[in-house]
Chain A
């Protein structure tokens, strides 16, 4: 299990440095709350909240994902740590897995804090097992392809600009599925009604974890 030990060591490094510097989670969380507040201005109080909430939730999480995934490799690059990772005995696949898990943890922390805020501000029952499963599955999809594109974006001239251009069209299935499944969950329907959406989320997760794992080495080779 040396592969997992190396991957988890990279994850632990990211979590530890985030715990000490509090750079990604704090700023992305503030951003998330700002987006929620701005949505409130955009929609006002006249609209049916249950109808617009799934869209608001997932637009917010998608942008939060872009922001935090962007930082993932830029921090490595700025500190000159990226070369360190490359010469370390960890394989390229282990680097991908480690970075991906770290981004997964960061996004989950952000979502765990943002969901209650969302529920509180809009008086919505979003803290249900259904919403939590949807959030977990969609977040896996986000980080699976986001980590790949983040590594790619960091190695280009335009950096922060490149990630959303690549990431947003590719995660379209995740956004559609998450929004629709959340709408079903918020209107109080059963698991069976959202099965189709969960299947698509699952398929996306499996395909992108596999493909990103396989092609990651071509992104970071010098």
Chain B
């Protein structure tokens, strides 16, 4: 039921967001049409941070309560987070080429995003390396906590190192109302999509666990 509502909401919002981006919103003066990437790039980035924050919280909850549901939630959120991070790294890169003249630059936000991506790839790998799924869950939870706490330090150190990415102009009134509206709709669209993918992955993991349990029952008879 939740899944169906989320599917409907994200479908409607994503179509609305596409319409706003390609029909409604005015073209940005200096960067031109490529700036429209911004309206999906930023929501993807925000939602991947949200996803990793959920991983962090559920990892703590798992180590504390030891209920598999927290582990399933953390794992699902990390998967969606890694997909979103991959997408915003790619979309940022496509945007950077015409605007900055390069696909990639070793700038704080980009580099932090790349390190973040590597940490959560490791998070997903650790689980598969562990000899039992319970152990894998514990190890992953530790990586989920340590990795998240590392992010601000990574960001600080890279900021001290170099800077080129534009500072966020969203809250300082740098966006005209039409652009702000498009951005907000896109953010809601991607948050709904994140919710949908999360619910789907959690349901999938639960089914997987149920299947394993039933298989064991059958085999033990």
The reply to whether the CB of B67 lies closer than 8 angstroms to some CB of chain A is: no
Q: Which residues of chain B are near A208, meaning CB under 8 Å?
A: 146
The reply to whether the CB of B157 lies closer than 8 angstroms to some CB of chain A is: yes
The reply to whether the CB of B201 lies closer than 8 angstroms to some CB of chain A is: no
A208 vs B147: C-alpha distance when bound (angstroms): 11
Which residue from A158, A173, A219 sits with its C-beta under 8 Å from B157? A173
Knowing A173-B154, A176-B157, A200-B153 touch, does A156 contact B130 (C-beta < 8 A)? yes
A152/B142 in contact, CB under 8 A: yes
Interface range, A side: 20 to 34
Q: Which residues of chain B are near A152, meaning CB under 8 Å?
A: 126, 139, 142-143
Where chain B touches its partner, the secondary structure class is: helix
The reply to whether the CB of A197 lies closer than 8 angstroms to some CB of chain B is: yes
B160/A200 in contact, CB under 8 A: yes
Write the chain A residue with the least CB distance to B135. A155
Q: Which of A20-28, A41-49, A113-121, A164-172 contacts B (4 or more CB under 8 A)?
A: A164-172
The reply to whether the CB of A148 lies closer than 8 angstroms to some CB of chain B is: yes
A174 vs B158: C-alpha distance when bound (angstroms): 11
Q: Which residues of chain B are near A133, meaning CB under 8 Å?
A: none
A212 vs B145: C-alpha distance when bound (angstroms): 10
Number of A-B residue pairs having CB atoms within 8 Å of each other in the complex = 83
Interface residues of A in 101-129 (CB under 8 A from B): none
The reply to whether the CB of B42 lies closer than 8 angstroms to some CB of chain A is: no
B118/A169 in contact, CB under 8 A: yes
Which residue from A211, A218, A221 sits with its C-beta under 8 Å from B141? A218
Q: Which residues of chain B are near A73, meaning CB under 8 Å?
A: none
Which residue from A145, A168, A172, A212 sits with its C-beta under 8 Å from B154? A172
Q: Which residues of chain A are near B122, meaning CB under 8 Å?
A: 165-166, 169
Which residue from B138, B149, B158, B160 sits with its C-beta under 8 Å from A219? B138
A155/B130 in contact, CB under 8 A: yes
Q: Which residues of chain B are near A170, meaning CB under 8 Å?
A: 119, 146-147, 150
A197/B160 in contact, CB under 8 A: yes
Knowing A211-B146, A219-B142 touch, does A172 contact B129 (C-beta < 8 A)? no
Write the chain B residue with the least CB distance to A200. B157
Q: Which residues of chain B are near A169, meaning CB under 8 Å?
A: 115, 118-119, 122, 147, 150
The reply to whether the CB of A50 lies closer than 8 angstroms to some CB of chain B is: no
Write the chain A residue with the least CB distance to B127. A156
Q: Which residues of chain A are near B129, meaning CB under 8 Å?
A: 156-158, 161-162
A155 vs B115: C-alpha distance when bound (angstroms): 25
Interface size on B, residues (CB 8 A): 28
Knowing A165-B125, A200-B160, A215-B145 touch, does A173 contact B131 (C-beta < 8 A)? no
CB distance from A108 to the nearest CB of B (A): 23
Q: Which residues of chain B are near A166, meaning CB under 8 Å?
A: 122, 126, 143
The reply to whether the CB of B63 lies closer than 8 angstroms to some CB of chain A is: yes
Q: Bits for B90-126, please: 1 = Cβ < 8 Å to A, else 0.
A: 0000000000000000000000000100110010011
CB distance from A21 to the nearest CB of B (A): 28
Q: Bits for B151-162, please: 1 = Cβ < 8 Å to A, else 0.
A: 001101110110
Q: Which residues of chain B are near A204, meaning CB under 8 Å?
A: 153
Write the chain B residue with the least CB distance to A165. B122
B153/A207 in contact, CB under 8 A: yes
CB distance from A159 to the nearest CB of B (A): 9
CB distance from B139 to the nearest CB of A (A): 5
A42 vs B125: C-alpha distance when bound (angstroms): 32
> Considering the complex of A and B, which 9 residue pairs feature the smallest CB-CB distances, nearest first?
A156-B129, A173-B157, A169-B118, A173-B153, A176-B157, A169-B119, A158-B129, A200-B157, A165-B122
Binding site for A on B (CB under 8 A): 63, 115, 118-119, 122, 125-126, 129-131, 135, 138-139, 141-143, 145-147, 149-150, 153-154, 156-158, 160-161
